[in-house]
Chains A and B, each alone.
Chain A
Amino acid sequence: MSSTTASRPAVPKAGGPGSAPRLRPTRGRRTPGRPRRSVLLTLVTGVVLLYSLVPLLWLVISATKTQAGLARSFGLWFDGDFALWENISRTFTYHDGVFVRWLLNTLLYVVAGAGGATFLAVLGGYALAKFDFPGKRAVFAVVIGAVAVPGTALAVPTFLMFSKMGLTDTPWAVIIPSLISPFGLYLMWVFATEAIPTELMEAARIDGASELRTFFQVALPLLAPGTVTVLLFTMVATWNNYFLPLIMLKDPDWYPLTLGLDSWNKQAATAGGEAVFNLVLTGSLLTVVPLIAAFLLLQKYWQSGLSAGSVKE
């Protein structure tokens, strides 16, 4: 880490208040505020990079192995039998293609749950950032306080409540609780505070725009990068959800991918159950890929949101 000081451009110490310091050396044309790159810092951070990527690499490699190959080969290298395509087709067809059903369920939960959660968070964050209304502090305190309530404190009573309403073992039991993202609300609140100049809203109102029109035509476009970010996070949360469906769903036909993979994994431990670890791992890879793809695709927008935020001064 000492490289940060070693490679730092020699900045002359400012003398008295009257002296005119050189901001940075003139050699090595660098844009202002962009320091020289450091090999050592890159290597040190590279350790964290390896930590993050090696398990994913292990997953990709493992998905190419047969059940027997998994046991006999080194984890971070390929086995003689390259079985990726066979594994994928078996994952999709195993147990009458239940994996496809789980994938579709997950998509449903993500579109309805994450989409709805993002919409509610954008509306609410906009309200918290740009309006002063009676009970505003109470709303915020209750929402933030509720985040600290353990999942099970809610899960058991929610399950009993939903069970009385006849909602358990239906998609609604997973979708409705997914609609609330306190963190999304917080993120949108912070973002809207920064991104929407109040003067712009006032100008729209002076021009006679209604509140709804001001929101949709003035605020929403400015909120786009924040919205994408919240959508990304709620998507991840819904796609990855395990605890809620575990409690709410008995019928494997409504399982999301997470619960389905878990059931395949447990199957090996049950009497007479077939061990399908190669399918568990291939299914895991197939579960991860769409989310990583979505993240990489959305990254562009999200990045523009970040730089837009950092330009303002």
Chain B
Amino acid sequence: MSDATGANGPTEPTGTDEGGGADGRRVRVVLVDDHRMFRTGVQAEIGRTDVTGVEVVGEAADVDQAVTVITTTRPEVVLLDVHLPGGGGVEVLRRCAPLMSDAERPVRFLALSVSDAAEDVIGVIRGGARGYVTKTITGTDLVDSIFRVQDGDAVFSPRLAGFVLDAFASTDAAPVDEDLDRLTQREREVLRLIARGYAYKEIAKQLFISVKTVESHVSAVLRKLQLSNRHELTRWATARRLV
């Protein structure tokens, strides 16, 4: 495992205000991944509930299993591999859509992948995942991201931020819907800093705003990503932008 910075950068040793069961929070998680070794590794890293506050309540190795396990255990967060036998992570999201929009206890998804293919990643986000991190993420950062997703926030890894900036790149095509098809200047700044490896706290300091505001910008970007009907979003990856 390399120490790739995840969505939230390394947590500073000066004590964190979230992550880990320090404040007594608990989160129920299901692992969906077709690699048993990877599931075991994640389980070992984050599954010590008394330390991390994460309780792994189920595992699944393919789409059908995943849907069954998620429906029966009703976890709060699902760690979802993008590539799965039986239709991939996107298929799981499609079949669990009603659970995601449940008003009482929504099930939230965090995509996890080794994939570098932009369309796969953008695909799961558009399918309803609340974030995307690479599998090289450290255990601490992963726990952190899980709690973020449980709070309803979005989790962007630097790579995802790069993909999104590319997807929303200024093209000549007129946006169908001004509000959805464009990123605001502020959102773009936040995404750039994420892509540059800044943690949310550092972004907040840099832009003189609160961490909450950073989170709301990221959530807004996520919403745009999911709702925008810019046709580039589905096709953009096929032709890299050579300016």
Q: Do A and B come from one complex?
A: no
